[in-house]
Amino acid sequence: MIRAAGCEPITDMDDGVAQADFVCILCPKTKATTNLFNSSRLAQMKSTAFLINTARGGMLDEAALYDALSSGKLAGAALDVFDEEPLPLDSPLLKLPNFLAAPHVAGLTREAAARMAEVTVRNILGVLDGQPNCELMLNREVLRSAALAATNNSK
C-alpha cells in the first residue's frame, strides 16, 4: 500500500527522520518515548525539515529544539504540547520566527466538542437503561462486568 502510493517504507526511525521533510510526533508518552527527540535526533533532521508535536510534552527536548531552530539546523517547528503547560510567556521558543505554539487545544473544535457531548449523553443513558455501549467506553471489561452485576442485582 505504501509503495502503491509512490513511497518507500522506512523501518528505522533515524533513517526516516534524516529523510523526512515533516516529522510529526504522534505516539504515546512512555519511558521509551520520553525525550525521544533530543539534540542528537534533532541533529539528524534536514535543515529544511519541520517538526510537529501534538502528542505529549516531554517527548521533545525544548532547549535542543531552540538551539536547532535558532541556528538554522531545523527550518521550523509547531507544538501544542510542552514540558510545562501552558508554555511560559518567557520561553525563548516564543521569540523565534520559525516556531508556532498552540495552547494544547488542537482537537477541540466545536464539532469535536458537540460529538463528545453527544457520545457522553448516549453512554450515560445506556448505562442507566442497563445497556451500556461498551465499544465506546475506556475500560470495556470493567463496564461489562458492572453492567452484568447491575442487571443481575435488579432481577
pLDDT score for 20? 93
Structural domain ending residue among the three candidates 76, 101, 126 = 101
Same domain, yes or no: 72 and 129: no
pTM of the predicted structure, to 2 decimals = 0.68
Same domain, yes or no: 55 and 126: no
pLDDT score for 62? 97
Same domain, yes or no: 41 and 116: no
pLDDT score for 127? 76
Environment class of 54 (CB within 10 Å of its CB; exposed 0-12, middle 13-18, buried 19+): middle
Same domain, yes or no: 51 and 119: no
Q: Is 3 helix (H, G, I), strand (E, B) or coil?
A: helix
Alpha carbons 64 and 37: distance in angstroms, whole number: 9
Same domain, yes or no: 86 and 125: no
Same domain, yes or no: 49 and 92: yes
**Averaged in consecutive runs of 10 residues, what is the pLDDT profile of the chain (155 residues)?**
81 93 92 95 97 93 98 96 92 96 76 80 80 60 60 61
Alpha carbons 44 and 17: distance in angstroms, whole number: 7
The residues assigned a catalytic role are 56, 85, 104
Peptide bond into 86 cis (omega under 30): yes
35: left (phi over 0), alpha (psi -120 to 50) or beta: left
Enclosing domain of residue 24? 3-101
Same domain, yes or no: 66 and 128: no
Same domain, yes or no: 121 and 51: no
Number of compact structural domains in the chain: 2
Same domain, yes or no: 77 and 119: no
The residue to which cell 533532521 is assigned? 45
